[in-house]
Structure 1
Amino acid sequence: MGIEVKEVEYGVQGRCIRMSNHFIDVVVSIDYGPRIVRIGFLDGPNLLYWDEERRNVFANKELKAYYGPQTAYHAYGGHRVCLVPDRMPQSYYPDNDPVIYGLLNGGVRFTPPRQKGNDVQLSFEVMMGTDASDVMIVHKMKNCSHESKRVSLCGSTMMAPGGVVIIPQNMSNEEKHQPNRNFSLWPYSSFRDERLSLGDKYIMAQQAPSNRNLKFGVNDLQGWAGYSNRGCTLVKRFVHAPGQPYPDFGSSLETYICDDYAELRTLSPLFTVEAGEGIRHVENIALFRSPDLQMGLPESTVNDYVNHLGI
């Protein structure tokens, strides 16, 4: 068996494209989005969050004034491509229309309609090897307007509840007289959040209900972050470009935690995209079978856990 690609009906997610190899499968919606609605081992659970009850729907006055009175943004869940910095209403485009897909050598390209009002075309490609438990996702943006846009591309992955986020601290000792770590905190978040742990080697965060949401960003020089849950660890890898400007006070990796899910976002540098031009942002998503990581462990134990994964 090589790579299998076929169109399927996937429950409440509707028409989807399912990609699979010897180890994993990936399911991508084409009735809306696109969203990667499932990623997991063939015999394992879905590691992504899905909003079965449509709890995360936004339809405020700004959205309706900008996109039309009948529009609403559905977070849906799963993995998507978006633009950063976040702005209301531009960042909450109601991508509820069917998606065009095209077969590639070793993958599939997913292209939604051009965003009306925002004058951008977003898309992503999912590339899969025959004998690997990882996929490469190529996020793309084209500026369809007549003016330049200053933006960053973001790969946003909403993870199933109950897991633990792990992010490496920057440990370079090349220049001891200059800071090497940024930590951006959103206004509704607290450094005293009990779900957050700031260690010398790792930042960890527990997805669990709370009376407030948590969002933070870091300059992730090592270019990876993980989420441990359901007997697996999902690791997102990307390239942090030293010396390049990043949004949100220099963040290349962001985490958002609410009652329903944990979100891991990898960001490209900020680009000035001229009219008719485009940018792309690549990340790798890899799956590892592993015991579930727990909060409160000694950092030496966490370090052994990471080394066992081979990150």
Structure 2
Amino acid sequence: MSYETLTITSRRLRLTVLAAGGPRILALHLDNGPNLLAETPNARWETPWGEFVLLGGHRLWHAPEAFPRSYWPDLNGPAAEQIDHGVTLRSAVDPGYIAKSLTVTLDPEQPRLHLQHTLTNHGLWPVELAPWAITQLAPGGKAILPLHNGQPPANPLLPNRQIAFWPYTPLPDPRLAFCDDFILIDTAIAGPPAKVGAHSAAGWLAYLHQATLFIKRTVYQPAAHYPDNNCNLEIYYDRGCTELETLAPLCRLDPGASVSHTEIWQVIPWTDDLDQSDLFTTLAQRAAEMV
């Protein structure tokens, strides 16, 4: 089945989104390069409301994950609204009375995007949730999960790195390399589905694939409590895609209220052959420049 799409362009980027419903970003191209996002046309699940189709690309969910709630079919909804240098995408109201919207703005000159994800409670009672931004990237690259922000710890006698593993993650996993400052995931190595997360003040995730660096950054809130054992950064990986996921803190969303979660994306041509000791410093600097 094909879906109607809408394309937004800047000088360096071409972005393709669903023309209605979602919100879903289906493709992201740097200059005349290939689609940086994963395409997963065969990933679909039956739910009480019909078939959920993943499609790939970028989507907005709300945590914590649960079946069937998280897999509500969302491909039908209001039409996309074009704005200056971007687009606003909206979902219908789901069975839990939550509606999603995503406003994407492209930098006219640089290969950068600003994304504002918003959840609104249309129900009659409060809901505890967290906005959850999930970007599926083409498989075969190297994902970087930073474990801290590079600053000296306030108290070196207390832990400053927290890692979470999902039940289906095999350990040991040859795709995982644990470094002092980050976890490196080589998704070119075959293996079963796996997922790892961290509570990290860094607030960014990165992916190196075919001479292209993709970084996405969000705001870290140190006093807040996050879902999934307090993870604000997560990476899922399997044969079909690599997901870079950022989460906002858990909140009590009252009836009629909204909560937003912002990301900044940057896409950079990448030919540097850095060793692991330089990689974290270089990527942290790049992420800091995105603010």
TM-score, scaled relative to structure 2? 0.92
Of the structure 1 ranges 135-144 and 214-223, higher mean CA displacement relative to structure 2 is found in 214-223
Q: Describe the superposition over 1:25-70 as per-residue Cα deviations: whole angstroms up to 9, x where unpaired.
A: 1111125523111112121111100114x1x1111xxx22xx2xxx
Q: 2:80 aligns with which of 95, 101, 119?
A: 101
| Amino acid of the structure 1 residue aligned with 2:35 | N
For the 8 Å contact 2:147–2:199, the answer to whether it is kept is: no
- What is residue 196 of structure 1 aligned with on the other side? 176
Once the two structures are TM-superposed, the CA of residue 16 in structure 1 deviates from its matched residue by 1.4
Q: CA deviation at 1:230?
A: 2.0
Q: Distance in 2 between matches of 1:94 and 1:49?
A: 19
Equivalent of 1:144, from 122, 137, 144? Answer: 122
Q: Secondary structure at the match of 1:302?
A: helix
119 and 220 in structure 1: CA distance in 2 versus 1, 3 angstrom threshold: same
Distance 2:109 2:120 in 1: 32
For 1:227-306, what aligned pairs fall within 5 Å after superposition?
227-291=207-271, 298-303=275-280, 306=283
1:34 maps to 2:26: no
1:183 to 156, 163, 170: 163
Alignment of 1:17-56 (within 5 A): 17-52=6-41, 54=42, 56=43
Where 1:28 maps in the other structure, the secondary structure is strand
Task: Confirm or deny that 1:173 pairs with 2:162.
Answer: no
The equivalent position to 1:206 in structure 2, one of 186, 190, 193, is 186
Decide whether aligned partners of structure 1 residues 307 and 271 sit closer, same or farther in structure 2, where only a CA change above 3 A counts: closer
Q: Is the 8 A contact 1:230 1:292 kept in 2?
A: no
* Contact 1:152 1:271 (C-alpha < 8 Å) held by counterparts: yes
Write out per-residue CA displacement over residues 49-104 of structure 1, whole angstroms, 9 at most, x where no aligned residue: 0114x1x1111xxx22xx2xxx1111110001110110111111111214422233
What SS does the corresponding residue of 2:71 show, helix, strand or coil? Answer: coil
Equivalent pairs: percent with the same residue? 25
- Which sections of structure 2, spanning at least 5 residues, go unmatched? none
Q: Residues of 2 paired with 1:43 and 1:255: CA distance?
A: 27
From the two aligned structures, give the one with the greater strand fraction: 2
Aligned residues: 286
Indicate if the aligned counterparts of 1:150 and 1:272 stay in contact, CA closer than 8 A.
yes
1:209–1:58 distance in 2 versus 1, CA, 3 Å? farther
Q: Once superposed, which parts of structure 1, at least 4 consecutive aligned residues long, lie more than 6 Å away?
A: none
Helix, strand or coil for the counterpart of 1:272? strand
Cα contact 1:30–1:98 (8 A) shared by 2: no
How much has 1:280 moved relative to structure 2? 0.5
The root-mean-square deviation of aligned C-alpha atoms, in Å, is 2.0
Are the equivalent residues in 1 in contact too, given 2:144–2:205 (CA < 8 A)?
yes
What's the secondary structure of 1:123's corresponding residue? strand
